[in-house]
Chains A and B, each alone.
Chain A
Amino acid sequence: MQSIDRITPDDLPAFARGCGVLGTGGGGSVDSGLLAAAHALAEYGDVPVVPLDRIAADGLVLPLSGIGAPTVSHEMPMSGEEPVLIAAEVERIFGRPVSAVMASEIGGSNGVGAVAWAARLGLPLVDADGMGRAFPEVQMVSQNVAGLPVNLIVLADVQGNLTTLRPVDGPWSEAIARAVTVACGGSALMADYVLTGAELRGAVVEGSVSSALRIGRTVAESGEPVKALVELLQATTLLTGKVVDVERRTGGGFVRGSLILDGTGADRGRMLRVEIQNENLVAFEDGRVRACVPDLITVVDVETADAVSTESLRYGQRVTVLSWPCDPLWRTPRGLEIAGPRAFGYDLDYTPVEHLR
């Protein structure tokens, strides 16, 4: 498929919509990321997008993501200088310049934010990310699946505080980075898995920036957005119906809950339950699994195909629940160990969505 070579201010709304769809219900609201990206592009110019194979084998790639509480980032947006601090620290450690920025998480606000961070640094954005979707925890990234070491984590906050971590493994990176973020006031920018072009090949989800933009454009330009989206993603339509119940509870710092849908139209008489932990994790129908992590499950508006985040789910919404295959990397034994159903506490074996009917 055709890839794109740059992101301009005109591309941002479609790109943000695509990031919303890839957010699988989580990843944070794309709205504030969109404002920051619009400001950064206006100040620093368009962002070139380059495929991973155009990055030199020894070229340094800086994967970035925001970490913290959505309520905090909604009230206290970033300073905008965080990427500069992180890049300078990374360049000091490695002794050479950073070649490109990458989104650690294409889904939700971190996908849109990456455009702002790349623009601020005047660097290209790699057409790839570490998830191909959104996940709630730091260690749930493709680089970890590929067995690459969490060699280094660098965090910068709104004040200019810079914290460099050398964690022993993925779970420790999550625990320590989270604690630092709290000390930073609940919001920070983070670089993890700073690696070379050669190391990242085969260890990231390629084409995800193009994919997000293509999703957004397809949805924006089609007269039948949901149908066009299903065709584009080769998605399985789990159910079209109405939201009849949304239950939320917080535990361990995350919002957990479930969503019940009642089928309408051709799906009348059927019901679907979607289990949520920030993102949509598992969809059940009559006790059977219809789709589960790491495959993507996204709830979209039945008219506009705009993604409906787990926070904005409400009784009565008319939605279609779609699921489509994750990157093959997530379907490896290690991928499933890190982000399969059991990694989220569900006692069930993973079956690819295309085999579930």
Chain B
Amino acid sequence: MTPTTPTTTTPTTTTPSATILRADVPARTAPGARDLRVGIDVGGTNTDAVVLTADGRVVARTKQPTSADVTTGLRSALTAVLDSLGEHAGRVGRVMLGTTHATNAILERRGLGRVAAIRLGGPATTSVPPLQSWPGDLAAALSAGSVVLPGGHYVDGRPISALDEDRLRAFLDTVAGQVDAVALTGVFSPAFTDHELAAAELVRKHLGDAVQVSMSHEVGSLGLLERENATVLNAALYQVIATVRDGLQQTLAARDLDAATYFAQNDGTLMTMDYAADYPVLTIGSGPSNSIRGAACLSGLDDAIVADVGGTSTDFGVLVSGFPRESAAGVEIGGVRTNFRMPDILALAVGGGTVVGPDGQVGPQSVGYRISREAFVFGGATATLTDAGVLAGRGTGLSAERIPGRAHARLRQALADAEAMLADAVDRITLGKADRPLVVVGGGAFLIPDDLPGVSEVVRPDHGDVANAVGAAIAMVSGTVETIIPAGHGRAETIAAAEEAACHRAIQAGGAPSGVEVVEINEVPLSYLNEPALRLRVKAAGPLGDL
């Protein structure tokens, strides 16, 4: 695809619209082909859905308000695009969903399962017990009990202790009947999985299949407490994600549409609904990834900087070989530290609704969705960056007539300052390399000038305001493996094994066996160990397999 020509963008997308845009649907790629894909992104304000053709063209799209229960808005958006497809609706073979459902459940402590947190590491690790740093109300909402039991491994693979099955059973007896799920976290389990696997087997036997088991080596990477936190959150979210899955599948069944369904995850790749049912916590943070990937698809670029300009903020991300660059530090979810892979996002309090102060200060307050009433250009009495943009001749379709003359000077000052802030953010996120294009999406895209320093060009693709839904629809699948390996002898074999395991995980997640390949190998030397050792991370990714 080639970059599309710039289009005009009206700065009003903070207001939900139910407009359905329908372009011509091309003929089937083959007789009977299920060659259309639906991408849905549930955001804080809007639920967006798009329909893409096999070659990535948008043929239908909608924006619906996000509902409190998420599922209602999801159903409206899906129904709207399927309706607009008319007789072509039966050609939809896949539905991809990016949702904030899990995040909201944690933030609002709503619908969470009861979890027993079991750490395998005693006698080590007891200086910091499980859930110690958690907000009290969140721990109370989901914890049915926690314990540190013998087990786990040293960095070199020796067991810290043998697994104590009797003590494990004794603990399970204390929580039986009160738990929906069990979270198992073993010391160094990302490198040595056997204790977690054996304990999971025992838990299933002892408590029955109705109780689900989360194993930390499948959820997170090295860093015990952060991985344990992520595993406990994962265990608490099984029911939450099952509700979304069921809602989506009922909608599809009601339309007699037998489409394969996927969830978007935080690294910008997809998992099948069944896989996601086991790893619900991985759906957290898929929004920014989808927006970056969607911007890439719409612009036809693989390496670029992406700016998603919304009403209250601009999120900058980096697209490297088709994937969002990941952050070095772990993220906090609802006050809980985790070590999740998340896109490296730089958020700046500059958006279309950002309020311009009496002396021309830029934000950080924003009028948010009230922009359509409060900004000068819409007849309101608040100076915003949208007014500043219109005054400067951007944001076509809006007149500067309603902007009072006395505000002109400070609006000009604010726009200049906002541009300086944007340029500064671009420099930070690009690491000073000014050779890449900037793809601008979102309702406030007009705020970004065409001559922004630090980028080779500014690209404004069509459908940029639904880039996140597009990103969900076009995502690939991936698998990641992380472990500790000796630096010298045996290194090559260990890397080969990790590559194979990563590919296997990507195929499990729905990848086409022929298309999955290793996309990243990252080795970090460990300090203060006499035996040279490396922390190894291997990621494999590829397109979805055939239906």
Main secondary structure of the interface of A (DSSP, over half): mixed
A182→B121 contact, CB < 8 A: no
Interface residue A81 (Cβ < 8 Å from any Cβ of B): yes
B155→A39 contact, CB < 8 A: no
B188→A75 contact, CB < 8 A: yes
Q: Identify which of A36, A159, A316 contacts B127 (C-beta below 8 A).
A: A36
Interface residue B223 (Cβ < 8 Å from any Cβ of A): yes
A158→B428 contact, CB < 8 A: no
Smallest Cβ distance from A49 to chain B, in angstroms?
A: 21
Q: Identify which of A158, A186, A316 contacts B431 (C-beta below 8 A).
A: A316
B528→A158 contact, CB < 8 A: no
**Which of B128-136, B163-171, B254-262, B397-405 lies at the interface with chain A?**
B128-136
Q: Residue of A at shortest CB range from B190?
A: A75
**Which of B298-306, B352-360, B529-537 lies at the interface with chain A?**
B529-537
Smallest Cβ distance from A35 to chain B, in angstroms?
A: 5
Taking CB atoms and an 8 Å cut-off, the chain B residues in 164-188 that contact chain A are 187-188
Interface residue B154 (Cβ < 8 Å from any Cβ of A): yes
- CB contacts (< 8 Å) of A314 on chain B: these are 328
Taking CB atoms and an 8 Å cut-off, the chain A residues in 34-86 that contact chain B are 35-36, 38-40, 68-72, 74-81
Contact with A along B216-251 (1 / 0, CB 8 A): 000000111100000000000000000000000000
Q: How far is the CA of A38 from the CA of B500 in the complex (A)?
A: 42
Q: Residue of A at shortest CB range from B227?
A: A75
B129→A74 contact, CB < 8 A: no
Taking CB atoms and an 8 Å cut-off, the chain B residues in 402-441 that contact chain A are 427-429, 431-432
- CB contacts (< 8 Å) of A32 on chain B: these are 128, 225
Taking CB atoms and an 8 Å cut-off, the chain A residues in 182-231 that contact chain B are 182, 185-186
A70→B528 contact, CB < 8 A: yes
- CB contacts (< 8 Å) of A185 on chain B: these are 154-156, 158, 160
Smallest Cβ distance from A266 to chain B, in angstroms?
A: 17
Main secondary structure of the interface of B (DSSP, over half): loop
Sort chain A's interface into a size bin.
35 or more
Q: Residue of A at shortest CB range from B133?
A: A35
A158→B125 contact, CB < 8 A: yes
Interface residue B379 (Cβ < 8 Å from any Cβ of A): no
Interface residue B18 (Cβ < 8 Å from any Cβ of A): no
A69→B527 contact, CB < 8 A: yes
**Which of A89-97, A139-147, A249-257 lies at the interface with chain B?**
A249-257
B528→A76 contact, CB < 8 A: no
Smallest Cβ distance from B146 to chain A, in angstroms?
A: 13
Interface residue B526 (Cβ < 8 Å from any Cβ of A): yes
Q: Identify which of A39, A81, A159, A255 contacts B527 (C-beta below 8 A).
A: A255
Interface residue A283 (Cβ < 8 Å from any Cβ of B): no
A178→B530 contact, CB < 8 A: yes
Q: How far is the CA of A255 from the CA of B127 in the complex (A)?
A: 27
Q: Residue of B at shortest CB range from A28?
A: B528
Q: How far is the CA of A274 from the CA of B224 in the complex (A)?
A: 32
25 contacts between A and B (CB under 8 A): A35-B133, A39-B128, A69-B529, A71-B535, A75-B187, A75-B224, A76-B125, A76-B154, A76-B188, A78-B124, A78-B127, A80-B127, A81-B126, A158-B124, A158-B125, A159-B124, A160-B123, A186-B528, A253-B529, A253-B530, A255-B527, A315-B428, A315-B432, A316-B429, A316-B431
Known: A78-B124, A250-B527. 20 other contacts (CB 8 A): A32-B225, A36-B127, A69-B155, A69-B526, A74-B223, A75-B188, A75-B222, A75-B223, A75-B224, A76-B125, A76-B154, A76-B155, A76-B187, A159-B123, A159-B124, A185-B154, A185-B160, A186-B528, A316-B428, A316-B431
| B residues whose Cβ falls under 8 Å from a Cβ of A | 121-129, 132-133, 152, 154-156, 158, 160, 187-188, 222-225, 328-329, 427-429, 431-432, 525-531, 535
